[in-house]
Amino acid sequence: MANTSGRVLGVNGNMVTVEFDNAISKNEVGYIQVGSDRLKGEVIRINGNTAALQVFEMTNGISVGDRVEFTDEMLSVALGPGLLQQIYDGLQNPLPQLAEQCGFFLQRGVYLDAIPNKNWDFTPTAGVGDTLYPGDTFGTVPEGLFTHQIMVPFTFANVPYKVLSIKEKGSYGVRDIVCVVEDQKGAKKELSMVFTWPVKKAIKLYEERLRPDETLVTKIRIIDTFLPVAKGGTYCTPGPFGAGKTVLQHMTSRNADVDIVIIAACGERAGEVVEVLKEFPELTDPKTGRSLMERTIIICNTSSMPVASREASVYTAVTIAEYYRQMGLNILLLADSTSRWAQAMREMSGRLEEIPGEEAFPAYLESRIAEFYERACKVRLKDGRIGSVTIGGTVSPAGGNFEEPVTQATLKVVGAFHGLSRERSDARKYPAIDPLSSWSKYEGVIKGSKVEYARRILFRGSEINQMMKVVGEEGTSVVDYVTYQKGELLDACYLQQNSFDPVDSSIPIERQRYLFDLLFKVLASEFAFDDKKQVRSFFNTIRQHFLDWNNVPFKGERFAQIEKEIETLYKGKQVAVDPDAEKLI
């Protein structure tokens, strides 16, 4: 039963002003009664005895005087076994079951259990008389590839609880009572495998927050070597429409060295989401050889939901990620795209008549974005295990303008910036990450001094390329032309990959290091050429050898043959080695 009731005073889009009795709190859930429908909303502002609710459904038909029931509960998600392989909307409604019940067009006001009612093979890990705290494990169940830990609800007060009874090993329903505990005052609490947690509140039941210092391997060379991401770190991928953000996310989710991938399609409702829903169940997980969906959770908005639900989907995703982190797992959360989430905030801020900031975004845009990315972390849990949540968000600035507020606010808080370039995308370069403007604060898989040497060649090669556009190739010295060709070689053979090639689409660390070492020897070499024609011929030949090398299995017979041909090629023209690079080889 609701503790507080209210009445609708006004409707402005999906914001409803309500007059209420008794007391309510911010972020509390309320339901507006419209005929036989109950429309879910969240309190976002309170002023006296009136409150503003953002409603997560279309508000057609709401009238002044309609009854509102407040639940005395925060906007929350259900946590427990059965989350993996699910496809949810922003309110954690399972979309396949919702479609079965409602048909092709989803009905408003229909809310289903997020976790399916099924039996799980429960194994107790605690005994009668044991003392437990919130977040401690008292049992486990197998969930696909993982051992899902059944924990004391995080919402409990941080006091000791004594186990009075616990079920023996066996099969039980997910909502059956499997354990009974009591606190120091003798109050008993019954525990099932499911509990809820408010999405706007970070889960902080860990012993220590650690520095993200372990590279998150993505098997994408330009990222792992030049623009690394750390487990428990953050990164953003801004870029214009059609520059390849979604493809890059797909490849990252497939190849990243993490346990679970959570995709929050918080801003995309059309082609991108359809592509994700169709492709992910068909993709083979290279780690297990089984379906990638077995360790994936997808959260996406539907066209029947207003833009306010974009915010809910972001927080729903990160809360589920933190839950699995508490089991000592490494989670990758991909948010696509946070620009749409920010635009939803701008729309709601306008309806609240708040003083606007830059480009009409709310003045608190930066703090909201920072609060989201700060929930990424690498932590040491009370039992010594390490868990992490890595957050990667895509940004879709209009026209690819990285100076707009959402991109700039994101760049202030993330640890790596993978900026996609329209020019590189149009040139069919994958990934279309601009190596000159992008950066990372994390350590990569290859020695930093060698990477920095290669990066200088890229920058100098770009400068010479810009100069040649003005003075022409004939106005360039042979030495500068060699540097330009070295930069092009590095770009074509290392920074780019073929996402359709079974070998080149994902490159293990050992192969990345092997390739970079040989390529570095070419970059560090000083060559003797008579004219630019010889330079062009040499680099065209060696570039093709490297490209062929990238497409053959690692350390096979053909691999060794091409490697020998490359060494013969560059040593035949080499006259010296750059002294600055010689000590790095």
Annotated ligand binding at 35? The verdict is no
Contact partners, residue 353, CB within 8 Å, separation at least 6: none
Q: What is d(CA 176, CA 169) in angstroms, rounded to the nearest whole number?
A: 14
Q: What is d(CA 300, CA 289) in angstroms, rounded to the nearest whole number?
A: 26
**Given phi > 0 = left and psi -120 to 50 = alpha, else beta, which region is 377?**
beta
> Which tokens in the block code for residue 48?
């006296």
Whether the CA torsion 283, 285, 291, 295 is positive or negative: it is negative
Annotated ligand binding at 245? The verdict is yes
DSSP run (H or E) holding 12: strand 4-12
Whole-angstrom Cα Rg for the chain: 28
Annotated ligand binding at 195? The verdict is no
Check if the beta carbon of residue 133 is closer than 8 Å to that of residue 326: no
Check if the beta carbon of residue 189 is closer than 8 Å to that of residue 156: yes
Q: Which residues pair with 55 in a beta bridge?
A: 41
Q: How far is CA 512 from CA 292, 410, 492, 518, 550, in A?
A: 24, 29, 14, 10, 10
Residue of 574, 576, 578, 556 lying closest to 566 (CA atoms): 574
Distance between first and last Cα of the chain: 72
Q: Which residues pair with 37 in a beta bridge?
A: 34
* Beta-carbon-side half-sphere exposure of residue 321 (alpha carbons within 13 Å): 34
Q: What is d(CA 38, CA 109) in angstroms, rounded to the nearest whole number?
A: 5
* Beta-carbon-side half-sphere exposure of residue 433 (alpha carbons within 13 Å): 29
Q: What is d(CA 298, CA 234) in angstroms, rounded to the nearest whole number?
A: 19
Burial environment of residue 521 by CB neighbours within 10 A (0 to 12, 13 to 18, 19 or more): middle
Q: What is d(CA 413, CA 40) in angstroms, rounded to the nearest whole number?
A: 32
Q: What is d(CA 549, CA 560) in angstroms, rounded to the nearest whole number?
A: 9
Annotated ligand binding at 239? The verdict is yes
* Beta-carbon-side half-sphere exposure of residue 578 (alpha carbons within 13 Å): 17
Annotated ligand binding at 244? The verdict is yes
Residue of 109, 429, 413 lying closest to 243 (CA atoms): 429
DSSP per position, 554-575: TTSHHHHHHHHHHHHHHHHHEE
Check if the beta carbon of residue 485 is closer than 8 Å to that of residue 537: no
DSSP run (H or E) holding 546: helix 532-550
> Which tokens in the block code for residue 123?
């194994």
Annotated ligand binding at 246? The verdict is yes
The set of long-range contacts for 208-213, using a CB threshold of 8 Å and a minimum separation of 24, is 208/379, 208/380, 209/377, 209/378, 209/379, 210/377, 210/378, 210/379, 210/380, 210/386, 211/378, 212/377, 212/378, 212/388, 212/390, 212/415, 212/442, 213/442, 213/443
| Binding-site residues from annotation for ATP | 239-246
| Binding-site residues from annotation | 239-246
